[in-house]
Structure 1
Amino acid sequence: MGAAGAVAADLAGWGPVPAFAVTATASLETVAAVVGGLLAGVPCVPVPPDAGPVERGHILRDSGARLLEVDFARRAPSPGPLPSADAAGAGAGDPALILYTSGTTGVPKGVVLSKGAIVADLDALAGAWEWGAQDVLVHGLPLFHVHGLVLGVLGALRTGSRLLHTGRPTPEAYAAAAAAGGSLYFGVPTVWSRIAAAPEAAAALSGARLLVSGSAALPTPVFRDLERLTGHRVVERYGMTETLITVSGRAGGEVAPGTVGTALAGVTTRVVAEPGAEIGELQVKGPTLFSGYLGRPEATAAAYTGDGWFRTGDIASVDGEGVHRIVGRASTDMIKSGGYRIGAGEVENALLDHPQVREAAVVGVPDADLGERIVAFVVAEGVSGGELTDFVAARLSVHKRPREVRFITAVPRNAMGKPQKRRLLEGEEQGRA
């Protein structure tokens, strides 16, 4: 707490400021900065360490934050204990973090997360995952996203568990952490895919208590490979920067590939679908939601329905047991073809079941006859497009088969492993130019 106390003292010396920023490297300096901000009551703005000058400049200007340099060697008395800020307590609505979105639909927006929202989310996850002081949390994720920072750092502080950050999330580093008593592992699908491709490293995780995947859908073949190699069925969870984690599988519960579990304590979900449709937009309510987009009241209002539900923009289905399956983004993953509404994720999972397919991304491309035709971009060898089309048609409804299969060397992804389908679509537009 000494380094965090020094940060809090520095912030107090600045006088009133709306926020402060820190270059969020995977380091103790970042942890000290975030905790120091909580002690001082000043929201922290984590800046990605690889941000270019335009992105960094936008974040600092938009937030009004002053960049703080942290020296972990400096120590100062803590001004007090960390505020508990339970969901109903004083200070729960005070801002704790301002995280910037990826900017896929415009310039990055600052998402204001309150102390109460963070506490409500971490306590709900602690219950769902049976996460406590007995655990050793292992991950190597960046500390400027919800996954690595809120769950991976503040979650450990909230539950009292030890945290072992591996620096980089490599299979070798995760396997080595097992010798240090690693019991709870966080990763994104890219991390788990690489571990599944390294059998010795995967086998080292057999003694873990729980493996958790998030930030993007875990491919079914990776799920199955990890189950075979580690003996664990990976728990998936779902959330957004604006909502934190709202839905998750449970420790000791039934876990099925392609599903993200049930709503967490205090969270309510609904799927808004057209009449007769099985899938629709997932909307949520609960104490984990953000306070709003910084300085953008119109964007904040537009994110909610008239009756107060947050629009996730994700397409989902929910079964009779309340188990959620995320099909994809409404903007890129809801395909309307020949009068049918088709979720790209379902077709992708079917393609990934083929032993020759390593990656798959499915999009809808404008079509004069069908409205949109299903186009599959795949990374595969030793199989033809026609064979893959027939493979999908044999497993799903015939109208869900790809009308076209294109072979690529890799699916473009962002730093968290999420497919960047717009880049595939841009390629389609260039191809037609």
Structure 2
Amino acid sequence: MRVRPKKVKGQFGFWIEDLFNFPAFTFPAIDLELSERRFLWIPDEPGYAPEGSSQTWYWFVQDFEVEVTWKARENALLMSLKMTNLSELPLTIYAIDPARITIDPLLLKNPAQLSIFQNGFQSWSPTRFRKANDTMKFPRIKSFGEMNHYTDSGFWKRKDGLLSNQFLVLKEQSALEAGIFGFLTQKTGLGEIFWQTTERGQLICRLDFGGKELLPEQTLRTEALYMASENWPDIVENYADAVGEAMSARVPDRPLVGWSSWYEYYTKISQSDMLANARIAGSQPELGIEYIQLDDGYQTAVGDWLVRKKSFPEPLVKLAEAIKSHGMKAGIWLAPFMASTKSILYREHPQWFLRDTNGKTIDCGFNPNWSGRSLALDLTHPDLQDWLHNLFAALRA
């Protein structure tokens, strides 16, 4: 269903039209399965709005109910969706698009006037400004894609646009004004924003649920979709504040200052290197260094975090004590939710690893620094949970 902005209750439609010159606003769309039939539900008529309410729309379907709510904030609008299973059978939810906005073709015909800020899936993913008519670039080596991108996304491998994770920013090249679309949390669904660059493109705001089961009479509440208009870079800072507020972020009184072994030694690190740098940092208090962090390279394999290489002849607690003696705190890096196929953990506890419906382990990709492939751990396994608890307890001690 496509709704002209002037038909949307309240300021919402006018805000979208005035700010981005988008001619149409479409919502919602739900990819679901019921009684072994998978289909895409898109309402064919406007939702029911209770008398006197301009912030909520309802759709009553035979098997489920959908409620869309939006509320205004300073320079921003929050939109959320609630879905209730009214059937006697479980529903399977694959994805929900709280909003789909049709893109003005003029924006795509004049890409030099508009930039798209693309946010990566994690720290190794591309995160930068792109032209409005750019499309996704894919690694030539499949395993690099698995390591650096969310390759399970329904948008992955599409060649008609750009995929941004959690949020996306639109900014005019010659002005500070910008617009942002982003989800405030990732508690129930994984937020994605897809900028489709075909002639009649769309900006699709999607939550990926990966096949979440919704039992009879059970309700699913989505993450809030945040939409705002403001100058760059204030718009990103205010969005980050809203995310932090929604997730009850613990914000330190001041930025943390520290030294990490990674940026000098990468994986070629030793205990003697760490001790030498701790002494130097401790002898120069004017630098304000509070933490000395041991990064990747101390462990024999990813997953074997308490098994040290020969370059670390003493237990890690000795290194932590030495750092503390120089007036600083010790930090450590680890990637606790995966393990190398060459690790002791994989060899001794194969049942702790995540598997697909065919019983095959889930590959996290290849990293040459880790001497092989890494597999995902099954965080629902009780024994693995105990192992992780004991691991962090040991490292913290």
Q: Output the TM-score relative to the length of structure 2.
A: 0.28
More helix by share: 1
Higher relative contact order (CA 8 A, sep 6+): 2
TM-score by length of 1: 0.26
Which protein has the larger Cα radius of gyration, Structure 1 or Structure 2?
2
